[in-house]
Amino acid sequence: MLKSFQMNIQMKIVTTSLLLLLIPILILGSISYYVSSNVTNSLIEKDLRNAVQMSIQLIKSFDDSVKSGSITKEEAQEKVKIWMLGPKTDGKRPINPKIDLGKNGYFFVLDNKGTELAHPSLEGQNIWDKKSNDGQLFIQEMIQKAENNGGFTTYMWPLPGGSTKEALKITYAEKDPLWGWVVAAGSYLQDYNAGQTDMLNTIVITLVICLLVGLLVLILFARHISKPLVRVERQASQIATGNLSIADLKVMNRDEIGKLAGSFNQMKAYIKQLVSQASLSSGALNKESKQVSHSLDQMAQAANHISSVMHGVAASTNSHALSVVESSSAMKELSDSIQQVASSSSIAFDLSENTVLEAEKGNAYIQQTNTQMQIVSSTMDNLSSIIDLLRDRSQQIGEIVSIISDISSQTNLLALNASIEAARAGEHGKGFAVVAGEVKKLAERSKMSSEQVTELIVGIQSDILGAVETMHKGDQEILSSVGTLQETGFAFERIHSAVKQVLGQVQQASSEADRMSATSQQIMSSLSEMENSANQSAGTVQTISALTETQLSSIDGISASVKNLNDMSAQLQDVIQQFKV
């Protein structure tokens, strides 16, 4: 946190001041470079214009000589070309070093059709359609401006000396009215921009030096401001942990930071004094609260004694009242019970009458059911006889089927023997063999049918045996049910006789219950009067006891408040002890 605080303060001061330093330097450098560039361009244009106009004046001077007859026009024109460039050798002319048009600047002359009349390397060539790499017809543009009282043309052109490297070139052209020449002087901007580049480098170097020096000064200044603030922050952290025993801040600054350190020392001294006073006050408060708590304990003991006595009186009164109430309650319960007995007796009488009627109906139903069960038993006996007869008949059918099966076996054997005899007879026994085969088939079919019938008869016999057993069991159950119904009928007769006896007794009990209910109502009235008197006495005692308990509760509340005050005083002592004074 401390390092972050220090870095934040320093970074804010350094960043803000660096921006305030950097912005004016950048603006000043940009303006200086812009002004220098404009001045340089203005000087270039002025030099080129003066050179062209001086050449035109020279042409005028030589033209006067031509008119005077001292020299021919061709000689005059050659002398002007020599002055501009130099003597022609092998179709080329040198650049005149005496004329300062920049390191690579030179004169050249064109006619109206774009033919080079004078040029270091292109003399005699027509360059009317010459274009720059970006498609500019700069020769036509140059001639047009020359015919309009002169003008500047900027274009890309190879450097002299056979170089293929192109550079930006500015040319001023103006038309001579005497010979019709387009006199042009051109120079490469890079020859003049060397000074601008030097100036730009100087500005950049100056800017870097100023920034480095300014940054160093700003860092020192930021440390000068942030260091005392860091010390204040450290002491504030110590005080926040309760340490007031640290030494005072010693800051030599006489500005607002020094005043802040002085105010911080005063604040620490005031807090230290405040903690000391609070410690003394909390000790005294703790002592007084203990004395008050002791006095309240004595008052509480006295109030408890009074309350105990009143509770004893109230208990006796309440016991008497409770006895009356319990007696009244018991009597009321007894009266209610008697009334309930009377009501129950009446209900029991009605139920007994209904029971007699239902018992008579039940006895009649039992008699009817007994008669029906006897009929069912007789029917079951007849059905059992029929099933026994079916069992005997099925056994007879089984015997007949057995005989048929034996006959089929014998017939099959006879057919086999007949087939053997027919085979022995040869051709004469073929007809007999066919009959024997049919007989054999018929015997086999008879045997199969008899076997199927036998299986069915066996199944029927098994079912009949099961039915016989079931019928016997059902007959036994019916006999048992008939016996049970007879016993039930006897029981209903006994119930009918007993219910009639109970009906008489219930009627007598109901009359006695009505007399007991009237007597209990009189006793209840007397107990109610006794209960009212007991309640009045108990209410008076309870009022006195409640007042005593209210006083005791107030003492308890005061005692609790004093206890809380004592606890708060102890907590205050603990908090104060956390401070190191």
485-513 pLDDT per residue, tens: 677 667 667 766 766 775 676 567 567 65
Residues of the chain with CATH 1.10.287.950: 293-575
CA-nearest of 185, 283, 147 to 570 is 283
DSSP state of 173: E
118 in the Ramachandran plot: left (φ > 0), alpha (ψ -120 to 50) or beta? beta
Band of pLDDT at residue 473, cut at 50, 70 and 90:
confident
Q: Tokens 């030096």 map to which residue?
A: 209
Q: What is the CA radius of gyration of the chain?
A: 75
Q: Which fold is adopted by the domain 293-575?
A: Helix Hairpins (1.10.287)
- pTM listed for this prediction: 0.37
Classify strands 182-188 and 151-158 as parallel, antiparallel or unpaired.
Answer: unpaired
CA-CA distance, 521 to 527, in Å (whole number)? 10
Can you say how many angstroms the Cα of residue 371 is from the centroid of all Cα atoms in its chain? 85
| Residue 38 scores a pLDDT above 90 | no
CA-CA distance, 253 to 512, in Å (whole number)? 118
What's the pLDDT at 183?
A: 95
CA-CA distance, 186 to 105, in Å (whole number)? 6
- Report residue 477 as tokens: 């159950």
Calculate ∠ Cα 373-374-379, nearest 5°.
95
Q: Which residues of 125-164 are buried (b: 16+ CB within 10 A; e: fewer)?
A: eebeebeeeeeebbbbbbbebbeeebbbbebebebeeeee
The per-residue pLDDT for range 176-229, each reduced to its tens digit, is 999 999 999 999 888 776 666 666 777 778 878 887 888 788 788 777 777 777
Mean pLDDT of 411-430: 72
If you count them, how many residues does the chain have?
Answer: 581
What's the pLDDT at 1?
A: 43
CA-CA distance, 255 to 259, in Å (whole number)? 6
Band of pLDDT at residue 175, cut at 50, 70 and 90:
very high
Task: Tell me which of 36-50, 256-270, 330-344, 488-502 is least confident.
Answer: 330-344
What's the pLDDT at 5?
A: 44
Query: Which run of H or E residues covers position 156?
Result: strand 151-158
Q: Check residues 574 and 330 and name the one with the higher pLDDT.
A: 574
- Report residue 342 as tokens: 């009377």
What's the pLDDT at 208?
A: 82
Task: Tell me which of 14-28, 169-183, 304-318, 469-483 is least confident.
Answer: 304-318
520, 335 contact by CB (below 8 A): yes
Classify strands 106-110 and 182-188 as parallel, antiparallel or unpaired.
Answer: antiparallel
444, 411 contact by CB (below 8 A): no
The per-residue pLDDT for range 516-525, each reduced to its tens digit, is 666 656 656 6
Q: Tokens 């000790």 map to which residue?
A: 283
Residue 576, burial from CB neighbour count under 10 angstroms (0-12, 13-18, 19+): buried
In sequence order, the 6+-apart residues with CB closer than 8 A to the CB of 556 are: 300
Average pLDDT taken over every residue of the chain:
74
In sequence order, the 6+-apart residues with CB closer than 8 A to the CB of 165 are: 158, 159
Q: Tokens 């501009």 map to which residue?
A: 84
What's the pLDDT at 494?
A: 74
Dihedral over Cα of 505, 511, 515, 516: its sign: positive
What's the pLDDT at 96?
A: 85
Mean pLDDT of 249-260: 69
DSSP code per residue over 422-478: HHHHGGGGHHHHHHHHHHHHHHHHHHHHHHHHHHHHHHHHHHHHHHHHHHHHHHHHH
Residues of the chain with CATH 3.30.450.20: 24-222
Q: Check residues 148 and 494 and name the one with the higher pLDDT.
A: 148
CA-CA distance, 481 to 541, in Å (whole number)? 78
| Residue 2 scores a pLDDT above 50 | no
In sequence order, the 6+-apart residues with CB closer than 8 A to the CB of 291 are: none
CA distances from 35 to 169, 196, 388 (A): 21, 10, 148
What's the pLDDT at 23?
A: 82
What's the pLDDT at 519?
A: 63
What's the pLDDT at 475?
A: 67
What is the percent of the chain where pLDDT is above 90? 14
Classify strands 106-110 and 151-158 as parallel, antiparallel or unpaired.
Answer: unpaired
Q: Which residues of 420-459 are buried (b: 16+ CB within 10 A; e: fewer)?
A: eebeeeeeebeeebeebeebbeebeebbeebeebbeebee
Tell me the CATH architecture of domain 24-222: 2-Layer Sandwich (3.30)
The per-residue pLDDT for range 287-337, each reduced to its tens digit, is 766 776 666 676 666 656 656 755 665 565 566 556 556 656 755 665 676
What is the percent of the chain where pLDDT is above 70? 59
| Residue 341 scores a pLDDT above 60 | no
Return the beta strands (E) in 290-420 as ranges. Answer: none
Band of pLDDT at residue 105, cut at 50, 70 and 90:
confident
CA distances from 521 to 323, 336, 337, 338, 527 (A): 19, 10, 12, 10, 10
Amino acid letter for position 219: I
